[in-house]
Amino acid sequence: MSDALIQLAQALADGSVKVVDLTHTLDPDFPVIILPPEFGQCARFRMEEISAYDHRGPAWKWHNITMSEHTGTHFDAPNHWISGRDVPLNAVDEIPVDMFVGPVVVIDCSAEATEDEDFTMDPDFIRAWEDQHGRIPEDAWVLMRTDWSKRSGAPYLNMREDGAHSPGPSGDGIRFLVEERNIRGFGTETVGTDAGQGMHLSPPYPAHFTLHGAGKYGLQCLSNLDQLPPTGAVLMAAPLKIKNGTGSPLRVLAMVGKDAT
Ligand code: MN
């Protein structure tokens, strides 16, 4: 065993590194994205009892579950978007597993998203964050904190006649992260990696288009981002190994140094 792993195990045991859960509970009431009615729709989580220590199975309890690949806290693979259709290793079962553990930075947009629910994060905002916290390291996850995960029910999707209203990156903002910072992936607290009105940005749905076209990953419906430091945490996000899968619900965890926040 390497010294680094011995030290990590000790730090986890003595509490100087803690594990933070960034995952919402899978629950039939948790909202899923709603597309315009002409498109196919994503299914909510459903759970059906097989037996519960009864005549169907006297000593055991278990459930059948159904959901879409993009239900609840979930991972987006490059093949989720047309721009990533021909990217190598673009399905959840093909992604190299070292991509599932890595450094993470958190850009706090919670004040701006509270002020303006259609807030979009642009390169100037990201550069201002870097002036305070240092340059975003290469191959890191970047999470956009908005405190949106504290909403529940209708205000979470925040649907109006013209669609959803929720924050996300601007087209230039996500291009900056992908092209200038070569991030590994981008995560949000909202139901998608794009802003609710992302179809009106250029290109439409710029986070999906740009990230996946460049072979980068997405995470959405994250929670507890307010428990992470701006830099220095390690993210663990391993999607289910679904053959040719475009995404998957998953448990997202972060390892955080005790005094980091
Ligand atoms: Mn998705």
Per residue in 46-91, pLDDT (tens digit) is: 999 999 999 999 999 999 999 999 999 999 999 999 999 999 999 9
Number of structural domains the chain divides into:
1
Question: Is 9 among the domain residues?
Answer: no
Domain that residue 169 falls in: 16-41+68-260
Percent of the chain, pLDDT > 70? Answer: 99
Question: Is 201 among the domain residues?
Answer: yes
Question: Is 1 among the domain residues?
Answer: no
Cis peptide before 78 (omega within 30 of 0): no
Average pLDDT over residues 28-37: 93
Question: Is 147 among the domain residues?
Answer: yes
Q: CA geometry: angle at 208 spanning 228 and 231, to 5°?
A: 20
Query: Distance between CA atoms of 158 and 204, rounded to whole angstroms?
Result: 19
User: Does 133 participate in catalysis according to the annotation?
Assistant: no
Condensed to tens digits (0 to 9), the pLDDT of residues 121-153 reads 999 999 999 999 999 999 999 999 999 999 999
Condensed to tens digits (0 to 9), the pLDDT of residues 159-169 reads 999 999 999 99
Question: Is 96 among the domain residues?
Answer: yes
The CA 220 to ligand 1 mean position distance, Å, reads 7
pLDDT above 80 (res 259): no
Q: What is the pLDDT of residue 2?
A: 87
The CA 82 to ligand 1 mean position distance, Å, reads 13
Question: Is 95 among the domain residues?
Answer: yes
Q: What is the mean pLDDT of the chain?
A: 97
On the 0-12 / 13-18 / 19+ scale of CB atoms within 10 A, 186 is: buried
Q: What is the pLDDT of residue 1?
A: 67
Three-class SS of 46-101: EEEEEEEEECCEEEEEEEEEECCCCCCCEEECHHHCHHHCCCCCCCCCCCCHHHHE
The CA 15 to ligand 1 mean position distance, Å, reads 33
- Is 190 in contact with 179 (CB distance < 8 Å)? no
Question: Is 63 among the domain residues?
Answer: no
Question: Is 161 among the domain residues?
Answer: yes
The CA 26 to ligand 1 mean position distance, Å, reads 15
The CA 159 to ligand 1 mean position distance, Å, reads 18
The CA 250 to ligand 1 mean position distance, Å, reads 12
**Catalytic residue (one of 80, 165, 208, 212):** 80
Domain of 146: which CATH number?
3.50.30.50
Chain position carrying tokens 């259709």: 85
